[in-house]
Amino acid sequence: MGSIDRPYFRSLQTASWRGVPFAVTGATLKTGRRVALHEYPFRDEVWVEDLGRAGRRIALTGFLLQDAAYGGGDVIAQRTALIAACEAQEDTGTGELVHPSLGRITAALLDFECEERSERGRSFEVRFTFIEAGNEEFPSLDIATQAQTGLSVVAAYAAIAQDFANRVSALLQTPPIVGEIQRTAQAFVDNAQSITQRATSLVSMVATLKGNYGRFVGEFTAVVKNPATTIEQLIGAGAKAREAVTQSGKVLIAAASVADFAGMSKAAQTLVTAVQKANPDPNQAIQSLAALQSETVPQERANVPLTVANADVTAMLRRSTVTALADSTSAYAPTSYDDAEALRSTVCDALDAEIVSAADTKDDGTFEALTTLETAVVLDLTTRGESLATMRNVVMGASLPVIVLAQRLYQDVSRYDALVQQIDPINPAFAPVAFRAPLA
């Protein structure tokens, strides 16, 4: 084919398989899509399901010739070398095929035939069938860590509700006891509303709008952008979030006023979930819920029954809050391995406090559920954090603008905003000489 002096034929390459050349007289290429045909009774149409691109099959017909122009030499030696190339055992089972018009291809040999005829003399006719090969891949086991956290959250809520009902049902439902339960719930609701008020302020939410409002506006929401959102929509969203918390609080207080312990647990879950969703992003939700948990502490009352009632209700509310806190981690996107590690430490400290409390009060169901939840959170954050860059100590010879540091460290000035958040300089034009930044 290469002997004809025309542009097309001059562009053809000498065919070879694993380095052994041969002449080509014809070639076919079979390709397309892999499909599954679904046929149903009494339906004239066929549903065709696409399963991806089909493997490209290449068939070549050619010959080996004594002292041919492609430089083969003795035809018997050519055939011996070609047979050896076809029968060679490779680790990957593939080899390099040079196709006259397609060029170099990594392929696997499916079939080879060599025919000799007496009337053709010093030549052999050869036929190949190849399939284009891809990279070697094996199935891998990946655990859906974020989904596992969600399942553990559901189980934790159920265990908390059951243990709370078991403990408070043993208390005498006298008016003073019921009044203390209601007062404890009211204090928790007031605190939740106060935290939500701060979270839904425009100062916290405005950073979600398109544009750059500076690092002191919406410290935790700078990376959450909603270009289609307006100020009016933010105001409406904040009002809606505050109303959801208010209504959930009213339900909790109403259940507490009639000693509906099952209703209290359900209302508490709804309330902490409303606080969680009221925050513009998971990072701020984690900050809000951590504050709500730390500020909800048992109080010493006038007598033992009232103190016990306060402690039991407070424990249920704290455990519900920390469960929502753990739930927020599944939606949080760590910026580095160190960020994931810091979040894991924060959440585990909060969970550990409630796990120890559950063990002290012999609430076995809550203890096991929160322990399982902590394991899921650790696994999730560790798995996602391992794929991220770690932090390093950076020392520069002089104070430089952060945008210059972004170019020097990453050759990418678009990393400026993230680097400003990480370094937190007094003025972005004068970064400190020593700071910590991601490796890449």
Q: What is the mean pLDDT of residues 62-78?
A: 81
On whether the CB atoms of residues 276 and 327 are closer than 8 A, the answer is yes
Answer yes or no: pTM beyond 0.85. Answer: no
Query: How much is the mean pLDDT over the chain?
Result: 85
**pLDDT of 347 strictly over 80:** yes
Ranking 213-222, 269-278, 286-295 by mean pLDDT, the lowest is 213-222
Pairwise CA distance, residues 231 & 235, whole Å: 6
Q: What is the mean pLDDT of residues 312-325?
A: 94
In this prediction, residue 4 carries a pLDDT of 53
**pLDDT of 411 strictly over 50:** yes
**pLDDT of 417 strictly over 70:** yes
In this prediction, residue 246 carries a pLDDT of 94
- What are the two backbone dihedrals, phi and then psi, of residue 88, each rounded to the nearest 5 degrees? -65, 140
Instruction: Count other C-beta atoms under 10 Å from residue 384's C-beta.
Output: 18
Q: What band does 321 get if pLDDT is binned at 50, 70 and 90?
A: very high
**pLDDT of 312 strictly over 70:** yes
Share above pLDDT 90 across residues of the chain, in percent, rounded to a whole number: 37
Q: Token digits for 38?
A: 């679904």
On whether the CB atoms of residues 50 and 35 are closer than 8 A, the answer is yes
Q: What is the mean pLDDT of residues 297-318?
A: 90
Burial of 312 (0-12, 13-18, 19+ CB in 10 A): buried
Q: What band does 266 get if pLDDT is binned at 50, 70 and 90?
A: very high
Ranking 40-54, 81-95, 222-236 by mean pLDDT, the lowest is 222-236
In this prediction, residue 220 carries a pLDDT of 47
Q: What is the mean pLDDT of residues 48-77?
A: 85
On whether the CB atoms of residues 185 and 252 are closer than 8 A, the answer is yes
Range 147-151, long-range pairs (CB < 8 A, 24+ positions): 147/330, 148/376, 148/379, 148/380, 149/326, 149/327, 149/329, 149/330, 149/373, 149/376, 149/377, 149/380, 150/327, 150/330, 151/376
Which tens digits make up the pLDDT trace of 357-378? 999 999 999 999 999 999 999 9
Q: What band does 137 get if pLDDT is binned at 50, 70 and 90?
A: low
